[in-house]
Each structure stands twice: as C-alpha cells, then as structure tokens.
Amino acid sequence: MRYIGIALMAVSAVGGGFLAAKRWRDRLDILCMFRQMIYHLKSRILYSNEPLPEALFEVGSRFSEGKTGSFAEPGKLFLAVAERARENRNLSFSVIWKEAVESIPKDCPLAAADRQNLSALGENLGYADRGMQERTLLFYLEQTDDAIAFLKKEADGRMKLYRSLGVAAGLFLFVLLV
C-alpha cells in the first residue's frame, strides 16, 4: 500500500510537469485562434461593413463549432458579446466586452497579459470610423503576434523544462520516500 501511494505521488509529479507543458502549448494555440478570429472580424467589418454584434456572432459561431474545453472559449467570448450587445443596447460596448473577457474561466490557459490585451481591444472597437476599427484590430494583432512569437521561441525549451522538472520531482519523491 505504501509503495502504491509513493508511486501515485511520483506519477502525479510527472503528470504535473506534463500538464504545465500542455498549458504552454494550449496558450499558444488559443492565441493563434484569437489571431485568426480577429482577421475574420477585420474582414467582416471592412469588407462586408457588418455592425459589431453581427460580425462577432458570425465569427464566434464559426470558431466555436466542434471546439471543446479551453478551445471553445474564444468562440464563446464573441458569441456572448454579440448576444449582450444586441440585448443591452444601452450598455456601452466597452463595458460589455470587458465583462465578457472577465468571465473567461480562470482555468483557461491565457496569461494575465493576454487577458489585458483582449480587454483593451474592446475599449476602442465600435468607436469612430472604419479606419479606426482597422487600426484597433491591427494593434491587437501586433500584440498577439509578439506574444505568439515569444511563446513559439520559448516553447521547445520550456516544454522540455516542465516535463523534465516533473519527471525529476517524481523520481526525487520516489527515492526520498522509498
């Protein structure tokens, strides 16, 4: 029984390392998804001249299809904003957007900086002319590209590090307790 307990602790330490590595990978994938969604949004606004609720709904529906867990969050965010913007027209768009960003679950692998960038995106959306929409979206894309570049650059090293640390912690526990 004792050995089973020790083995479980060691396995969970190894698993923790692998989970941390996966979280890193997922954050990268979710940011890539946000980038793709913003490109779609930009095209809907600039090409089809769609109002925000309509454009967000279309893009959100497209990107929430077949997605589960954290990967469904970007689509859900757009759909939630679209719905609230339609229903509560007397609320400002920035408030609706900010509240929706804040309601993204804590276990979604987005860093605080990612959430902050997302929140800032809503502050200027819908304001002024089409050119302003484009610049606002491009500014967010620039920030996201920087974050993605950093994550990609660090991905291999960090993922190896997290996994190795997990394995090392597991072995350490095993040696210590046996």
Partner 1 sequence: MDAGRVIDWLKKAVADADSVREIRIRAGRPVMVVQDGRERYLSFGGRLEQVSRRDASERQPGDAVIADQVLIKELLGMFSGHSLYAFEDEIRQGFLTIEGGHRVGLSGKVVLEGDGIRTMKDISGLNIRIARERPGCADAVLPWIYHDGEIQNTLFLSPPGAGKTTMLRDVVRQVSDGNRHGPGLSVSVVDERSEIGACVRGVPQCDLGMRTDVMDGCPKAVGMLMMIRSMAPRVVAVDEVGTKADLEALRDVMKCGCKILATVHGNAAEDLKRKPVLCEMVAEGMFSRYVVLSGVPAPGTIVGIYDEKFGQLHGAEWGKQACAT
CB count within 10 Å of CB 164 equals: 12
Contact status: 80 vs partner 1 (CB under 8 A): no
Among 39, 61, 62, 89, binds partner 1 (CB under 8 A): 89
Coil vs helix vs strand at 123: helix
Contact (Cβ atoms closer than 8 angstroms) between residue 20 and residue 162: yes
Chain residues 28-67 in contact with partner 1, contact rule CB under 8 A: 45, 49-54
Contact (Cβ atoms closer than 8 angstroms) between residue 128 and residue 101: no
Distance between CA atoms of 136 and 41, rounded to whole angstroms?
A: 12
CA 132 centroid distance within chain: 24
Contact status: 100 vs partner 1 (CB under 8 A): no
Contact status: 133 vs partner 1 (CB under 8 A): yes
Distance between CA atoms of 55 and 82, rounded to whole angstroms?
A: 8
Look up residue 81 and give its DSSP letter.
H
Among 78, 93, 140, 162, binds partner 1 (CB under 8 A): 93
Nearer to partner 1, 39 or 172 (CB): 39
Contact status: 128 vs partner 1 (CB under 8 A): yes
Among 12, 36, 43, 92, binds partner 1 (CB under 8 A): 92
Contact status: 138 vs partner 1 (CB under 8 A): no
Contact status: 129 vs partner 1 (CB under 8 A): yes
Footprint of partner 1 (CB under 8 A): 45, 49-54, 85-86, 89-90, 92-93, 96, 125-130, 132-133
